Amino acid sequence: MVALATSSAGGKRPAPRARLLEDERWLAFALLVPTAILLGLFIAYPFVKGVILSLTSARVGVEGEFVGLKNFVKIWNDGIFHVTVWNTFWYTGVTTVFKLALGLWLALLLNRHFRGKAFIRAFILLPFIIPTVLSTFAWKWMFDPTFSVINWTLYQLGFITQRINWLGDPDLAMTSIIIINVWRGVPFFAISLLAGLQTISPELNEAAAIDGARPWQRFWHVTWPLLLPVTMVVVLFSVIQTFADFQLVYVMTGGGPANATHLFATYAYQLGIGTGLLAEGAAISLAMFPFLFLIVVVQLLYIRRVEVR
Amino acid sequence: MTTKRRTFLRVSGAATVAASTGMASILASGRAPVYAQAKTVHWLKWVDFVPATDQMFRRELMPEAEKALGIKMNLETVNGNDLQPRITAGIQSGAGADLIMSFNSFTHLYANSVVDLSDIAEEVGKREGGHYAYAKAICSDGKAYMGMPWAVIGGMIAYRKSWFAEVGVTKFPETWEEYREAGKKLKAKGRPLGQTLGHTFGDAPGFTYPYLWSWGGKEVEADGKTVVINSKATVDSVKFMQGFWKDAHDEGGLAWDDTNNNRAFLSQTISATLNGASIYIESLRRADQYKTEKGEHLNKDILHAPLPKGPAGQFGFHLLQSNMLMKYSKNQDAAKAFLKWLHTEANYEKFFLSQKGFATPTTAKWEAHKLWNEDPVMTPYKVAARLGQAIGHSGPPNAKAQEVLSKYIITDMYAKAVQGMAAEEAVKWAEAELKKVYV
Amino acid sequence: MVEGGLWRRWVFFYIPLTLFVFVLLFPFYWMIITTFRPDGELYKPWNAVAYQPFWTNNPTFEHILYLFEETMFSKWMFNTLLIAAVSTVISLICGVFAGYALARLNFPWAGGLGTTIFVTYLVPQTLLFIPLADIIRNFGLGDTPWALILTYPTFLIPFCTWLMMGYFKSIPKELEECARIDGASRFQAMYHIILPVAVPGIMSAGIFAFTLSWNEFIYALVFLSSPEQKTVPVGVTSELIRGDVFFWGPLMAGALLGSIPVAIVYSFFVEHYVAGLTGSVKG
């Protein structure tokens, strides 16, 4: 309302060009042009080229010829690819559950009033801010089989007598990258969910409390339903990013040991760049698309349903 | 502090960065102008393991080249792992560095996109007693030289003299059995052998390939098509490896990258590891930092030896570097002139000396260089390039062999086995994967 | 505050919060300690005697000095800041415009367009960067900051658009209509009335976009080549990791210094960030 009062929007007469913009369709067109140009040029065009690439037998430096779906048939029968698909789903699923649970918990904690609130809220975002490549190197150092400070701590506390082979064991290697991803993602979840929590009027909770609802019941029946829309949006963006994750695994394990941590992006990179099989690499990257699309459509439909309700 | 940085910027700026215009105008215009008078040769190489070499290039050799050839040099260094995306993007978009350093069979992988360098290679070979067969196999397909052989980063076992002596081994084991026995005793004393079986370009294949060959295993026949990995020799090698790993190795090694074993060795948790000479060089560089448990300098207790023999012989697989001249380059003449200049003996020697034996030249003549006598610890590296064998054995080290290498199939075969998969199963897995490559 | 006794407050609030802060910030403490630790103390195995991982008695500035004297770290910081800031601004302008059009204007295929913009967010970078290299070359953008300034918006715009759409939807229509009755054009109404109200939303979209561009690695690695053009993530990894020798001290110093300035900016903005998201999620 303040904005309205101070605005000088009144008096001026619209110039002819501006009159064109009075038409909603023209205005929409004008407003969408910059986005369309940028996305068209730097996504749509290379995307189409990528799709075409995946249908050829191109290697690096060799154009190749049209081979139809042969590359897709090949990866469909590729054992490493199967492992990769499984890894990606597992990685995305587990990290999302943990990020959501821990992020929500942290958001509930941060939603209270305490001294140094602003300070803590800002610093808790650090894992999210720092360039992934660099923070992953720090983790690599902490998980190092010979120098692990985590092992040292657990050993000193008497939890272990033997070292834990964090990155050497296939299951532990996956666990390690999951831990790092969760560490990176929790702050984003927490801050976004905190934003959601702040839209919920405290009176609702107070009313429920007067009605005798226990804290847990209040959360479940009052807070959670109101928080659901924002939660879904955050989960959606997180799933997309996690599913296509590259940097973390590239730095940490390169997909090893014995392909135990390969994800779509790292395997596509290994084939396309490491081996020069550009077409197959493109096919693997593209194979990510339908999976991702499916997940996203389901989530979008769900969000819409939640919103309508 | 400020002055020092400025000098650095000026030196490196003049030599490598400025593309004929200087920082200020690059900042202003965003890119170098096309009307530059001198041609600029852009050389993309790895960040050398020996920092002194890159410094020497920046401060001495590049300015000299500019003076001698009337060109501008742009020397760019990147992490070895990041060379391939740059090469690929360069080739696919037709723009990028003129000269790019290649590791191993990149030369075959990018054969279509490089310029034949036979004239320079043959000239240098003739002058310096011939290129080793290993360098030829990797850089040439019999018709053309896809890369100009540069150097071999030798892989030798660095080991602790005193620790081996304490378990009664005074001469480095010659066979795998002896090595395993020694390793068993060492591991019992909490000083295991260290070896990576992870996805890393240097130390993992540097061990698994020669190990396989020494047992008589090979991925394909000489025709480069018939997959023959599933042989008794391979299965034996895998079975031996399973026991060997448990008995003698640091089991943390499964996911080590090329750096982990260096750190483990320098911190004295392992008694031996296959590596370039970088461990020893580091222990020399900061002698006072690395002391043995007896308080002596660690560098006095390090020796090098080649990988032991197996039933089928003794092999080595070393990182061979060459420089490729890219077909898309618009400065091919200038780049070629630079390469030729770089490979004159006087200039190459500067590089060779700065490496202190870390890099072994690819021609026979350098074996006689006095550098090899200066430090007996480094002497074994003298013949690294001579003992080397190219990937893809017995087939040619072509793009298929490179695919096997970069998919880590051989390495993963052993990694799977030591993680508990039956030897026969692991070999079968590798066979199936290899057949998908060699179609 | 948590109701009930003091112990409840500890169990349900202080202890969990402390644990969270500890786990989230521990890696940063680890970076700090590695930055100031002399190399001699670095190579001690985890089970060594008298190993003090959490403290050093001989702190050194050697690594930080190395970072500034022997590498172009300050230049990389400048590049990263510049690229992140400009691409964020571009993405915000596009995102605000597109978000406004999609949320508040009636035109054919609005829904379809919104979905399309969103779907572009799903296209994996690993597929794009090779064909993109081609485009970059055709425009003569290789090895200039523009290569990144123009490509980063591709993954920033979809997010910004969606966030702004949500935000604009939550602003009541009447606000605009009042201004229109007073004689303002549509564009004026948007510019003078709606945008000021949407500032918190714009801020949070901006912060998020800035973080993503600060983070990016593949494009920066492939499209830039001169040492003095590089960004922090690429520069630090390519200069401080020499094959099998890591320069841990400078590497960690670089990681730390590369994130602290942004963290300080965030500490001023975080309340707005929360407020901005609050608006956008109401819709």
Give C37-49 pLDDT, tens digit per residue. Answer: 887 777 666 666 6
CB contact under 8 A, B91 and A60: yes
More confident call, C83 vs A305: C83
**pLDDT for position C1:** 47
Q: Does A130 touch chain C (CB under 8 A)?
A: yes
pLDDT of A115 over the 90 cut:
no
CB contact under 8 A, A60 and B429: no
Chain C residue with CA closest to B269: the answer is: C45
Residue A11's pLDDT band (cuts 50, 70, 90)? very low
Nearest to A285 by CA among A263, A270, A264, A271: A264
Chains in touch with C (≥3 Cβ pairs < 8 A): A, B
C59 to chain A, closest Cα gap in Å: 19
Read off the pLDDT of residues A49-96 as tens digits, 9 standing for 90 and up.
999 999 999 888 888 889 999 999 999 988 889 999 999 999 999 999
Nearest to A190 by CA among A115, A244, A248, A128: A128
Chain C residues touching B97 at Cβ < 8 A:
225
CB contact under 8 A, B4 and C69: yes
Q: Which residue has the tokens 């993602």?
A: A185
Read off the pLDDT of residues C24-83 as tens digits, 9 standing for 90 and up.
999 999 889 889 988 777 766 666 666 777 888 788 888 899 888 888 899 999 999 999
CB contact under 8 A, A296 and C95: no
C222 to chain B, closest Cα gap in Å: 6
Q: Of C43, C129, C241, which has the smallest distance from its Cβ to B266's Cβ?
A: C43
Structure tokens at B117: 């360098």
Q: How far is CA B121 from the centre of its chain?
A: 20
B267 to chain A, closest Cα gap in Å: 9
Q: Domain limits of chain C?
A: 6-60, 63-282
Q: Of C69, C223, C228, which has the smallest distance from its Cβ to B1's Cβ?
A: C69
Q: Let me know if the fold of B2-152+319-365 is the same as that of B156-317+387-437.
A: yes
Residue B8's pLDDT band (cuts 50, 70, 90)? very low
Q: Does A71 touch chain C (CB under 8 A)?
A: no
**What is the DSSP secondary-structure string of B148-175?**
EEEEEE--EEEEEHHHHHHTT--S---B
Contacts with B183 (C-beta within 8 Å, 6 or more apart), sequence order: B192, B193, B244, B247, B248, B249, B271, B272
CB contact under 8 A, B85 and C143: no
Q: How buried is A150 (Cβ within 10 angstroms: 0-12 exposed, 13-18 middle, 19+ buried)? A: buried
- In chain C, the percentage of residues whose pLDDT exceeds 90 is 21
Read off the pLDDT of residues B124-133 as tens digits, 9 standing for 90 and up.
999 999 999 9
**pLDDT for position B61:** 94
Distance CA B157, CA C141 (A): 46
More confident call, B289 vs B371: B371
Chain B residue with CA closest to C38: the answer is: B289
Say what angle helices B409-418 and B203-214 make with each other, to 10 degrees.
80
Q: How far is CA B52 from the centre of its chain?
A: 17
Q: Does A159 touch chain C (CB under 8 A)?
A: no
Chain C residue with CA closest to A244: the answer is: C124
Rg (CA), chain B: 23
Q: Does B267 touch chain C (CB under 8 A)?
A: yes
Q: Is the ipTM of this complex over 0.95?
A: no
**pLDDT for position B1:** 37
A 56-115 → B contacts, CB under 8 A: 59-62, 74, 78-80
Residue B49's pLDDT band (cuts 50, 70, 90)? confident
B 31-70 → C contacts, CB under 8 A: 31, 42, 44, 46-49, 51
Q: Does A50 touch chain B (CB under 8 A)?
A: no
Q: Considering the entire predicted model, what is its pTM?
A: 0.86
Mutate which of A54, A129, A252 to test chain C, going by most C C-beta atoms within 10 A? A129
Choice among A252-256, B33-37, C38-42 with the minimum mean pLDDT: B33-37
Chain A residues touching B268 at Cβ < 8 A:
none
CB contact under 8 A, C43 and B13: no
For domain C63-282, the CATH class is: mainly alpha
Q: What would the mean pLDDT of B390-403 be, rounded to a whole number?
A: 87
**pLDDT for position C262:** 77
**pLDDT for position A18:** 60
Superfamily holding A79-263+289-308: MetI-like (1.10.3720.10)
pLDDT of A309 over the 60 cut:
no
A62 to chain B, closest Cα gap in Å: 7
Choice among A75-84, A241-250, B15-24, B424-433 with the minimum mean pLDDT: B15-24
Chain B residue with CA closest to C247: the answer is: B259
Chain C residues touching A120 at Cβ < 8 A:
17, 21
**pLDDT for position C244:** 62
Choice among A131-135, A301-305, B181-185, C140-144 with the minimum mean pLDDT: A301-305
Residue A15's pLDDT band (cuts 50, 70, 90)? low
Distance CA C12, CA C10 (A): 6
CB contact under 8 A, B267 and A61: no
**pLDDT for position B65:** 94
Contacts with B67 (C-beta within 8 Å, 6 or more apart), sequence order: none
CB contact under 8 A, B47 and C146: no
Q: Domain limits of chain B?
A: 2-152+319-365, 156-317+387-437
Most confident stretch, A113-122, B183-192, C230-239, C246-255 = B183-192
**pLDDT for position B37:** 56
Choice among A1-10, B301-310, C93-102 with the minimum mean pLDDT: A1-10
Superfamily holding B2-152+319-365: Periplasmic binding protein-like II (3.40.190.10)
Q: Of A3, A153, A292, which has the smallest distance from its Cβ to C122's Cβ?
A: A292
Read off the pLDDT of residues B252-279 as tens digits, 9 standing for 90 and up.
888 787 878 888 898 888 999 999 888 8
Contacts with C223 (C-beta within 8 Å, 6 or more apart), sequence order: B89, C132, C133, C136, C141, C142, C143, C147, C148, C151
Q: Of A59, A273, A275, which has the smallest distance from its Cβ to B407's Cβ?
A: A275
Chains in touch with A (≥3 Cβ pairs < 8 A): B, C
- In chain B, the percentage of residues whose pLDDT exceeds 90 is 61
Distance CA A30, CA C191 (A): 14
Q: Of C130, C145, C244, which has the smallest distance from its Cβ to B262's Cβ?
A: C244
Residue B113's pLDDT band (cuts 50, 70, 90)? very high
A 239-258 → C contacts, CB under 8 A: 240, 244, 246-247
Mutate which of C123, C187, C212, C239 to test chain A, going by most A C-beta atoms within 10 A? C123
**pLDDT for position C246:** 67
More confident call, A212 vs B197: B197
**pLDDT for position B385:** 83
Distance CA C217, CA A66 (A): 32
A66 to chain B, closest Cα gap in Å: 17
Contacts with A175 (C-beta within 8 Å, 6 or more apart), sequence order: none
Q: Of B47, B74, B263, which has the smallest distance from its Cβ to C243's Cβ?
A: B47
Maximum alpha-carbon separation in chain B: 70
CB contact under 8 A, A144 and B412: no
Structure tokens at B178: 């002896």
Chains in touch with B (≥3 Cβ pairs < 8 A): A, C
CB contact under 8 A, C130 and B89: yes
For domain B156-317+387-437, the question of CATH label 3.40.190.10 is answered with yes
Q: Does A138 touch chain B (CB under 8 A)?
A: no
Q: Which residues pair with B46 in a beta bridge?
A: B78
B 95-124 → C contacts, CB under 8 A: 95-97
Chain C residue with CA closest to A154: the answer is: C46
8 Å CB contact between A14 and C176: no
Chain B residues touching A265 at Cβ < 8 A:
none
Read off the pLDDT of residues C147-195 as tens digits, 9 standing for 90 and up.
999 999 998 998 889 888 878 887 888 888 888 888 888 888 888 888 8
Name the DSSP letter for residue B391. T
Q: Does C44 touch chain B (CB under 8 A)?
A: yes
**What is the DSSP secondary-structure string of C217-263?**
-HHHHHH--SGGG--HHHHHHHHHEETTEE-HHHHHHHHHHHHHHHH
Most confident stretch, A234-238, B18-22, B322-326 = B322-326
